[in-house]
Chain A
Amino acid sequence: MHIVDGALSNPVVIGGAVLAAGGVAMGLRALTLERIPAAGVLSASFFVASLIHVPIGPSSVHLILNGLAGLVLGWAAFPALFVGLLLQAVFFGFGGLTVLGVNAVNIALPAVLTGLLFGPMIRRGSPLSAALWAGIGGAFAIVGTTAMVAGSLALSGEEFIAAAHLVFVAHIPVMAIEGFLTAFAVLLARRVKPELFTTFAEVRT
């Protein structure tokens, strides 16, 4: 999920940086006072979740939780995930500073999309149906991210189909786990703190 420095061609890196800047600007406009604490918590959970590697079979995967961030924050997921990525690059050399823009777009854009597509579903209806949609949303965000990663590699000259297949297959377990986690998180939030979703809907302009 984290593309490293030097793997992408310069136009892709620059394009990613421009897109990321735009996304962060959009996100900061959407980051209202009520949303800041939630953004901080989700930023921290993304930061930690992608450092914990879960060994599955011969390989190991890490969670991303960008679907949940998108569902709760909408556009504000962009700065939240960007901060997490920046700190990972600085502290652990995860990804890199030059490809920060590309990585941010790859992870945050699917998050925002998930928020726009599935956000309305989880704000109305029973908590149970909200959880179901959230599960689909959580998996969808990972699918989006794998497609974006494969796309950025393809733009730099790698075979898209091969790259996409590789990244996609490796992340099937992640999709399943993220789907479950997002579903349960939303279920819990709807039961315990339903205003988490409604406040933001009213604030949304």
Chain B
Amino acid sequence: MRRLAMILALCALPLPALAHKVIASVFPSGDSIEGEIGFSNGDMAVGQTVTVYGPDGAELGTTETDDDGFFVFTPAQPVAHTFRADLGAGHVADVTMSAEDVAKILGQEPIVTETPEDRTPAAPVSMSDQQRAIMAEIVRDEMRPLRREIAAYREKNDLQSILGGMGYIAGLFGLGFYLAARRKLKDAA
């Protein structure tokens, strides 16, 4: 009883979610890059320092996640941005946004070795820039929970994969059994 109480008391300590996968994603958000970092069980990384690296490994800056695990970074150069955060205990978040996407945010041509595709964004004339910004904002807010749902769904271990894994195990050990038995029969002969 006392042991159980102790266990429960210890579990009540705010612990990071160990033994979970880290989920990190970035997406364009107006004139900056927005991203989120969290664990596959839905816990988000709060107050986590995120370091931003360029394609050559040079540090471009740092940012910090807010209470919902979101971070915002305003890019200065149209190159690929890699966001890395060390959540401790062997959990590392690492996510990259390609040069094209960053360039799109900045409204410049990307600096990449391969030839970028010709992009002519068809801007509807009937809408002012401000209206479009508001629209984009609304769409982003609507998308956020969906993105999270999809990320969580991707992490779900479904029964099929578990059964598949068990099938593999059975097959592997069956093969081992067969080989060992064959060797034994050879020795006996």
Contact = CB atoms under 8 A, between A and B. Distances in A.
Contacts of A60: 17, 19-20, 41
A57 B11 contact: yes
B145 interface: no
Given A1-B18, A59-B16, A47 B165 contact: yes
A125 interface: no
Interface in A135-189: 149, 152-153, 158, 163, 166-167, 169-173, 176
B19 A33 contact: no
Contacts of A176: 3, 7
B58 interface: no
A84 B172 CA distance: 11
A78 interface: no
Nearest to A80: B173
Interface stretch (B86-94, B99-107, B121-129): B86-94
A48 B172 CA distance: 16
B166 to A, nearest CB: 5
A172 B180 CA distance: 40
B165 A88 contact: yes
A166 B88 contact: yes
Given A8-B90, A32-B180, A92-B157, A169 B165 contact: no
A159 to B, nearest CB: 9
Contact of B170 (A33, A44, A166): A44
A20 to B, nearest CB: 16
A1 B169 CA distance: 21
Contact of A6 (B12, B43, B92): B92
**B: contact size bracket:** 35 or more
A53 B20 CA distance: 9
Contacts of A171: 18
B151 to A, nearest CB: 13
B184 interface: yes
A149 B164 CA distance: 28
Contacts of A153: 89-90
A62 B41 CA distance: 13
Size category of the A interface is: 35 or more
Given A4-B91, A87-B168, A176-B3, A61 B180 contact: no
B91 A37 contact: no
A33 B90 contact: no
B89 A40 contact: no
A11 interface: no
A94 B11 CA distance: 23
Nearest to A60: B41
Contacts of B153: none
B173 A87 contact: no
Contacts of B57: none
Given A44-B166, A62-B19, A94-B21, A4 B180 contact: no
A49 to B, nearest CB: 11
Contact of A7 (B16, B18, B90): B90
Contact of A48 (B3, B13, B90, B166): B166
B14 A58 contact: yes
B173 A167 contact: no
B22 interface: yes
A93 interface: yes
Nearest to A1: B19
User: What are the 9 closest A-B residue pairs judged by CB atoms, nearest first?
Assistant: A40-B173, A57-B11, A3-B90, A7-B90, A87-B165, A33-B180, A36-B177, A59-B15, A7-B92
14 contacts: A32-B180, A33-B177, A33-B180, A33-B184, A36-B177, A40-B173, A43-B169, A47-B166, A53-B20, A61-B18, A91-B165, A149-B89, A166-B16, A170-B18
